[in-house]
Amino acid sequence: MNLQFLKYFVLLAEHKNFTRAAEKIPVVQSTFSAGIKKLEESLDVNLFHRDKRNVRLSPEGQRMLPLAKKMLAQWHEIENEFADGENRLLRLGLLDNIVIEAVVPMFRNYQEIYGQYQVKMVESTLVELFQKLDQEELDGIFIEKQDIDEEFYAARPAFSERLDIAVSHQNPLAAASSLPLEALEGMPFIERTNCPLFEEVTAQMKAKKIKVNPVFQAQNNDTVTSLVSAGVGVSLAAQTNNMISGIKFIPLSDALFVRELIFVWKKSNKSRALKSFISF
Average pLDDT of the segment spanning 157-162: 86
Q: How confident is the model over 203-220, as pLDDT tens digits?
A: 999 999 999 999 999 887
Average pLDDT of the segment spanning 55-67: 92
Confidence band for 193, pLDDT divided at 50, 70 and 90: confident
Is the predicted pLDDT of residue 86 greater than 90, yes or no? no
Mean pLDDT of the chain: 86
**Per-residue pLDDT, 129:** 95
Average pLDDT of the segment spanning 123-143: 93
**DSSP one-letter string for 123-139:** EE-HHHHHHHHHTTS-S
Is the predicted pLDDT of residue 233 greater than 90, yes or no? yes
Is the predicted pLDDT of residue 25 greater than 50, yes or no? yes
**Per-residue pLDDT, 75:** 80
Contacts of 212 (CB under 8 A, 6+ apart): 184, 185, 186, 187, 188, 189, 205
φ, ψ for residue 210, nearest 5 deg: -95, 125
**Per-residue pLDDT, 28:** 79
Percent of residues, the chain, with pLDDT higher than 70: 94
> What's the CA gap between 218 and 234, in Å, rounded?
12
Cα Rg of the chain, angstroms? 21
Please report the domains of the chain, with CATH numbers, ordered by start residue.
3-81 (1.10.10.10), 89-159+260-279 (3.40.190.10), 161-258 (3.40.190.10)
Is 265 within 8 Å of 133 (Cβ atoms)? Answer: yes
**Per-residue pLDDT, 262:** 93
Confidence band for 85, pLDDT divided at 50, 70 and 90: very low
Confidence band for 270, pLDDT divided at 50, 70 and 90: confident
256: left (phi over 0), alpha (psi -120 to 50) or beta: beta
- Each as own residue / partner, the long-range contacts of residues 229-232 (CB below 8 Å, 24 or more positions apart, any chain) are 229/168, 230/168, 231/168, 231/170, 231/171, 232/188, 232/190
**Per-residue pLDDT, 134:** 93
Confidence band for 107, pLDDT divided at 50, 70 and 90: confident
**Per-residue pLDDT, 243:** 56
Burial (CB < 10 A; 0-12, 13-18, 19+), residue 279, is: middle
Is the predicted pLDDT of residue 178 greater than 80, yes or no? yes
DSSP state of 252: B
Confidence band for 20, pLDDT divided at 50, 70 and 90: confident
Angle between helices 29-43 and 3-15 (to 10 degrees): 110
**Per-residue pLDDT, 80:** 66
> What's the CA gap between 112 and 66, in Å, rounded?
10
pTM: 0.66
DSSP state of 270: -
Lowest mean pLDDT among 153-162, 202-211, 221-230, 233-242: 233-242
**Per-residue pLDDT, 83:** 59
Within a 13 Å sphere around the CA of 45, how many CA atoms are in the beta-carbon half? 12
